[in-house]
Amino acid sequence: MAKKPDVDSAVREGRRERKRRQTRERIEAAALKLFLERGFDATTIEDITEAADVSKRSFFDYFPSKEDVVTAWQDGFARELIGAIAAQPEAASVVEVIEAAVNSALRTAMADPQSLALAALIRTTPALSARDQLKYAKLARKLADALHARSHGSNAAHLRLDLLAAAVVTMLRIGGERWAQSRQDISLEEFARDLFDELWAALADLGEEVRQRP
């Protein structure tokens, strides 16, 4: 007789994964709240586990270090951006895809009331700001891969997408620094549009210089 599918086992597995996700989210939320209230360096792992009501061992099951809690929060932007890239209409141009996806990811990020405060914390905490630069390298690779997935071009076309992804991520880095350094009297969407205008104009000007080169 064929063995019947273990439905109860599948249900239990679903519950187990949900519980793990909820525990991870609880740890992350508690840690980020404490970082903003006390500062990153002044917050211990024991503080986090007490606030999240988990054991120290449970903390390390999800995060190797305090820094990795912040990295996990930052990865949310990359997930939103890549998801938005995939969701764009197939007929859209690469410029339209990138602009729409970046704006979508920025709107989602800014919907988090902690977003600006955490970004400021990262910039002013040496242990976090040093790792922050790695975020941009990872983001450029993920963006390039997402653009490749939409393209059926040659290796040369993929190289162009790699270069474009690097340029867009550099724009985001510089834009983030500019936004933080001086008070902006325009919306984030307008600010992003101005950045894109500057980026496309710079690339077009460089292309024209190349074409005019002897």
pLDDT in tens, 102-143: 999 999 988 888 888 898 899 889 989 888 888 899 999 999
- How many alpha carbons lie under 13 Å from residue 89 in its C-beta half-sphere? 5
Higher pLDDT pick, 174 / 8: 174
Last residue within a domain, chosen from 34, 63, 92: 63
pLDDT tens sequence across 39-73? 999 999 999 999 999 999 999 999 999 999 999 99
Q: Are residues 157 and 174 in the same domain?
A: yes
DSSP secondary structure letters along 134-162: HHHHHHHHHHHHHHHHH----HHHHHHHH
Q: Are residues 50 and 132 in the same domain?
A: no
Domain housing 109? 66-212
Q: Are residues 41 and 143 in the same domain?
A: no
Q: Give mean pLDDT, residues 18-28.
A: 93
Q: Are residues 79 and 22 in the same domain?
A: no
Phi-psi region of 71 (alpha: psi -120 to 50; beta: other; left: phi over 0): alpha
Domain count, the chain: 2
Contacts of residues 146-153 at CB distance under 8 Å and 24 or more positions apart, as own/partner, are 146/81, 146/82, 146/85, 146/86, 147/85, 147/94, 147/97, 147/98, 149/86, 150/85, 150/86, 150/88, 150/90, 150/94, 150/97, 151/94
Q: Are residues 56 and 71 in the same domain?
A: no
Q: Is 3 helix (H, G, I), strand (E, B) or coil?
A: coil
**pLDDT of res. 38:** 95
Q: Are residues 47 and 79 in the same domain?
A: no
**pLDDT of res. 189:** 84
Q: Is the dihedral of CA 74, 80, 86, 88 positive or negative?
A: negative
In sequence order, what are the residues at sequence separation of 6 or more whose Cβ sits closer than 8 angstroms to the Cβ of residue 204?
none
Q: How confident is the model at residue 13 (pLDDT cuts 50, 70, 90)?
A: low
Last residue within a domain, chosen from 63, 79, 107: 63
Last residue within a domain, chosen from 14, 40, 63: 63
Q: Are residues 30 and 115 in the same domain?
A: no
Q: Are residues 49 and 87 in the same domain?
A: no
pLDDT tens sequence across 154-197? 777 889 999 999 999 999 999 988 887 776 678 888 889 999 99
Q: Are residues 58 and 37 in the same domain?
A: yes
Q: Are residues 41 and 90 in the same domain?
A: no
**pLDDT of res. 183:** 63
pLDDT tens sequence across 78-90? 999 999 999 999 9
Cα 140 to Cα 137: distance, rounded to the nearest angstrom:
5
Q: Are residues 6 and 76 in the same domain?
A: no
